[in-house]
Amino acid sequence: MLHGRTTETAAIDRLLDDAREGRGGALVLRGEPGIGKSALLGHAAERGGQRGMRVLRSAGVEGESELPFAGLHLLLSGVLDRIGSLPEAQAGALRGALGLQARPTTGDLFLAGLGVLTLLSELAAEQPVLAIVDDAHRLDAESLRVLLFAARRLGAERVAVLLAGREGEGPDAPGLPELPVGPLDGAAAELVLAAAAGAAELPGPARALVLREARGNPLALLELPAAQRKSEHYASPYGVACLPAHSRLLRTFTETVATLPPATRTVLLVAAADENGRLDAVLAAAGRLDAGLDDLAAAERARLVTVEDGRIRFRHSVIRSAVYQGATAGRRVAAHRALADSVRPAGARPDGPGHAPDHEPGSTADHDHDHDHDLARQRAWHLAAAATGPDPEAARLLERSAEHARTRGAFATVAATYRRSAELTADRAERGRRLFEAASAAADSGQLELADALALEAAPHLADPVRRARAVRLRALVADEQDRSRDAHAMFTEAAQEAGAADPELAGALLFQAAQAAWHAGDQQAIERSAERAAALALPGADRIAALARLAAGQHRLEHSPLADSAAAVRELLGGPGGFGSPPAADARLARTASASTSDSPSVLRETVRVGWWHLFDGRVEQARDLAAAVERHCRETGALGVLAVAQMLLARTQLMLGRHRDALSTATDGLRSAEDSGQSRVRVYLATVLAHLAAVRGDEDACRAHAEEALARGIAPSTVHAGTALALLDLGLGRTEAALDRLGALAASPDRQGIIAALPDLVEAAARLDRPDRGRDAAAWYRDHAALGGHPWAEALALRCRALLAEDPGTAVAHYEEAIRLHGEGGGSPYDLARTRLLYGERLRRLRRTTEARTQLRAALHAFEQLAAHPWAERARNELRATGESTAQAATPGPLDQLTPQELQVARLAAEGLSNKDIGSRLFISPRTAGYHLSHTYAKLGITSRTELARISF
């Protein structure tokens, strides 16, 4: 019975009830050791069973935290036979992750996550599912990422996920609701103590001591009485006030273990040192230390362990820790050596791992080979734990284990294994190489701080200047990802100097990266220093760095010459070797990437996105969109979620600029979730600025400010500029013209104005509406030069609109507006920009008393604004029409498509293309059931009943 947990059990019951009704969800229980998280999970399992739910259970184990997908395997152990019903790519990725097939595809971590989501969905179609993970803070990184991926996407599934983790130790589960599990209150603590074994025998002072020292911790209340029965324990060695609760528990269990016979303590120590307490392995190792199965009886009677399903299970992880930490170093070493000798692979040489396989993939022998790899990994870690100094054999076995983990995409495991291998390596060069491998894997797994520390540690051990340069480059890449771009520039420069004459091509590439980091920091002088250094040393790629410097200059100055330089620079960057800059060439490169090694693929994808940005800088918005769409498509097909958000960042921006507002909303919303999954905070913030701009167009002030807030707080361009221009557009649309002018004027005058060019027409409009043409002339001239250099009709149209706004002569203004509207019609631009030009032209015509012509422009503008849900702009056009005497300009009713959420819109489009729910789920990283849920809501909103009708709708 649970005492004092009314709030917690009510929250769990709501989660289960919601899941049974098709509203899937997840909950993270968090609290200190022994606080009752496991008891609450037991309550959930009991309630779930009573309510007809299938209950899946797993638990994190300290020794298995480096074993990729161990926790996931345990969770799905009873339903592994259902994996065959999944889509082929998901089934393959999931089997590979779980070691159920040989040679799994590298990098399929997110496809494995999608496979888990689909599997849970199919199970839930038969009966609701409750997935429970205890001690999630000890879960291996790969299992945790896959489970969190699924938990965030439950949507309409009849699935509930419950995770429990220690306070301050994880799991880190952003986006999932948390339920803190705190100490029991006094009354509840007394009830728990009354139920504890031996509590009735406690004298009054001992009882008060237990209540005081337990501090509401249920496990302490249950376990401390046995240690407090004797009067000599009233002073309590566990009552050191400065120690946390779990330290007192450790000491409690350590004393309990100390009372057991020596042979019993030996078996317990071996079980604690083993990864999963397998009875056969523990007994084999314990036998080498003169202990056996019969010696476990005393530990079972003391309720420290149970033996079931071929495993020795500690009743609580704290007991295991107490057993292990309470042993002397010599006894721990002996236990690990015994385990190492007991888990030697069948085909292994006495001094090393088994021979390379000579059999076909997928054969029985291949599965045996995978088992041998696992045994070799266990042996390596036990040898490492037993090492008291450098150990070449253990280091070599750990390196082999790390490389095997790499084939499964388990980069966190690779990092930990290489790190331990380095610690056991005496040779400085080998130690440095292994530390660098650990750092690289840590960066791939998203552990950026660890990657930085390991690369820093590796550098002094690397005698080769090229290797040292690569270590510094890794630290620089981490710094850039962490928004420390100035530091990154300095480190890239240092790495280039390190590479020097030994590898000029690498030195040139490093200086290019240094210039890019300086761009991210808004440091034009640093960019130019990189270009000058590359030219002085005649390094390969010096011309590209010079081009990048000219491009950056054009982004920062209100002068014609830098603009001309930047236009030429973009074309030089796009015209690189192999003509990679064109969308057809990029598509061909992406096609080749599908068959390339995984380690090469992300770099090709990211380079393609970078080229897309250069197209965007050159005004070729449609080309940039095509490149971004190609990368996004490739990412979805291959499950490359880490690059997906990077592509969506560009795609959403281009869709916004092309006036495809529904598409931009859908892409940016989905991209935010992708970036959250990948931990790409900079990408997430940039996508939020796209959503801020879309909210500004709609006149949604709360959403606009919320999306802009983080970008402004971070203070990193161009996100800060995009956030500021979105807020200015909001002000302009809502009639706060002076606020818009002040904000845009400050941005244009700032030395860090990347991204301001697109907002210059807004600045000119605000200045003209306030009758302050002097505030808009420089911006109009800058935009005119920008448009002339690009030669794109849509940009020239906006430049003409600026000139019309500032023109004093009515005839000149009318001529400029007419030509602008003609150029807007030549394609490549935005219907939103055209509508704004028509609105301004209609306003000017009305003031000239050319009412009939004004109405023509204003009606067209109103229709476009209504189609785009640009509510404040539509209202402005409607008011202007009323001013012309047209009284029928009523607010339009939103169209059916306007009622769809971004995800419903995505699902509807794919369904209209003929994709099944399973195909849609694979494409959007949701389950087939969730796809069907969104589709049914779409049918209701659109007033249709079939995919055939859906296919006739123009999206």
pLDDT tens by residue, 661-701: 999 999 999 998 877 766 677 788 899 999 999 999 999 99
Quick check: 406 pLDDT over 90? no
Q: Provide the pLDDT for residue 391.
A: 94
Question: Minimum mean pLDDT among 28-37, 331-340, 757-766, 910-919: which range?
Answer: 910-919
Reading the block at residue 192, the tokens are 């728990």
From CA 77, how far away is CA 75, in angstroms rounded?
6
Lateral strand order in the sheet of 54-59 = 54-59, 129-134, 159-166, 25-31, 178-180
Reading the block at residue 201, the tokens are 């025998």
Q: Provide the pLDDT for residue 578.
A: 34
Q: In the predicted model, what is the mean pLDDT of the chain?
A: 83
Q: Mean pLDDT throughout 388-394? A: 93
Closest CA to 140 of 56, 93, 72, 38: 72
Question: Minimum mean pLDDT among 229-243, 655-669, 737-751: which range?
Answer: 229-243
The amino acid sitting at 184 is L
The amino acid sitting at 670 is D
> Which residues lie closer than 8 Å to 846 by C-beta, 6 or more apart?
854, 858, 880, 883, 884
Q: What is the CA radius of gyration of the chain?
A: 33
Give the bridge partners for 129, in sequence order. 54, 159
Q: pLDDT, tens digit, for every residue of 599-645?
A: 334 456 777 887 888 888 888 899 899 999 998 988 777 655 667 88
User: Do 6-180 and 897-951 have matching folds?
Assistant: no
Domain ranges of the chain: 6-180, 186-257, 260-342, 558-679, 897-951
Reading the block at residue 377, the tokens are 């990994």
The amino acid sitting at 206 is A
Q: What is the Cβ-side half-sphere exposure of residue 618, based on CA atoms within 13 angstroms?
A: 24
DSSP structural state of residue 65: T
Dihedral of the alpha carbons of 685, 832, 761, 690, in degrees to the nearest 10:
0
From CA 573, how far away is CA 565, in angstroms rounded?
12
Q: Mean pLDDT throughout 556-566? A: 53
Q: Provide the pLDDT for residue 206.
A: 64
Q: Provide the pLDDT for residue 869.
A: 92
From CA 244, how far away is CA 235, in angstroms rounded?
18
For 255-278, letters b (16+ CB in 10 Å) and e give bbbeebeebbbbbbbbbbbbbbbb
Give the bridge partners for 165, in sequence order. 30
Which CATH superfamily is 6-180 part of? P-loop containing nucleotide triphosphate hydrolases (3.40.50.300)
Q: What is the Cβ-side half-sphere exposure of residue 457, based on CA atoms within 13 angstroms?
A: 18
Q: Mean pLDDT throughout 88-101? A: 85
Q: What is the Cβ-side half-sphere exposure of residue 526, based on CA atoms within 13 angstroms?
A: 22
Give the chain's count of helices (H) and strands (E): 46, 7
Reading the block at residue 688, the tokens are 């939020």
Strand locations in 183-237, DSSP E? none
- The size of the chain, in residues, is 955
Strand locations in 431-487, DSSP E? none
Q: Provide the pLDDT for residue 596.
A: 40
Reading the block at residue 37, the tokens are 């998280």
From CA 101, how far away is CA 118, in angstroms rounded?
19
Give the count of beta carbons closer than 10 Å to the beta carbon of residue 310.
Answer: 9
Q: Which fold has domain 897-951?
A: Arc Repressor Mutant, subunit A (1.10.10)
The amino acid sitting at 873 is W
First-last CA distance in the chain: 56
Confidence of residue 244 (pLDDT cuts 50, 70, 90): very low
Q: What is the Cβ-side half-sphere exposure of residue 48, based on CA atoms within 13 angstroms?
A: 27
From CA 374, how far away is CA 748, in angstroms rounded?
60
From CA 771, how far away is CA 101, in angstroms rounded?
73
Confidence of residue 349 (pLDDT cuts 50, 70, 90): very low
Strand locations in 278-403, DSSP E? 305-308, 311-314
Quick check: 229 pLDDT over 60? no
For 379-401, letters b (16+ CB in 10 Å) and e give bbbbbbbbbeeebebbbbbbbbb
Q: Could you give phi then psi for residue 926, rounded to 5 degrees?
A: -130, 170
| Selected residue with higher pLDDT from 353 and 317 | 317
Task: Calculate the alpha carbon distances from 792 to 433, 522, 829 in Å.
Answer: 51, 27, 9
For 596-619, letters b (16+ CB in 10 Å) and e give eebeebbebbeebbebbbbbbbbb
Q: Provide the pLDDT for residue 97.
A: 86
Reading the block at residue 481, the tokens are 């990802």
> SS in 3 state form for 612-654?
HHHHHHCCCHHHHHHHHHHHHHHHHHHCCHHHHHHHHHHHHHH
The amino acid sitting at 616 is L
Q: Could you give phi then psi for residue 885, rounded to 5 degrees?
A: 100, 5
Give the bridge partners for 801, in sequence order. none
Query: What secondary structure does DSSP assign to 854-869, as a single string?
Result: HHHHHHHHHHHHHHTT
Closest CA to 128 of 222, 17, 38: 17
Give the count of beta carbons closer than 10 Å to the beta carbon of residue 232.
Answer: 5
Q: pLDDT, tens digit, for every residue of 275-304?
A: 778 899 999 999 999 999 999 999 999 888
For β-strands 159-166 and 129-134, DSSP reports them as parallel
Query: What secondary structure does DSSP assign to 85-154, as a single string?
Result: GS-HHHHHHHHHHTTSSSSPPTT-HHHHHHHHHHHHHHHHHHS-EEEEEESGGGS-HHHHHHHHHHHTT-
Quick check: 482 pLDDT over 90? no
**pTM, full prediction:** 0.70
The amino acid sitting at 573 is L
Reading the block at residue 737, the tokens are 């013209």
Q: Could you give phi then psi for residue 314, rounded to 5 degrees?
A: -75, 140
The amino acid sitting at 59 is A
Q: Mean pLDDT throughout 719-748? A: 94
| Selected residue with higher pLDDT from 166 and 199 | 166
- DSSP H or E segment with residue 61: none
Q: Could you give phi then psi for residue 328, rounded to 5 degrees?
A: -70, 160
Q: Provide the pLDDT for residue 102.
A: 60
Q: Mean pLDDT throughout 891-919? A: 79
Reading the block at residue 758, the tokens are 């697109």
Strand locations in 398-472, DSSP E? none
Quick check: 235 pLDDT over 80? no
- DSSP H or E segment with residue 178: strand 178-180
Q: pLDDT, tens digit, for every residue of 825-859?
A: 887 789 999 999 999 999 999 999 999 999 999 99
Q: Provide the pLDDT for residue 126.
A: 94
Q: Which of 303-312, 445-454, 516-525 has the highest mean pLDDT?
A: 303-312
Quick check: 908 pLDDT over 80? yes
Question: Minimum mean pLDDT among 510-524, 771-785, 821-835: which range?
Answer: 510-524
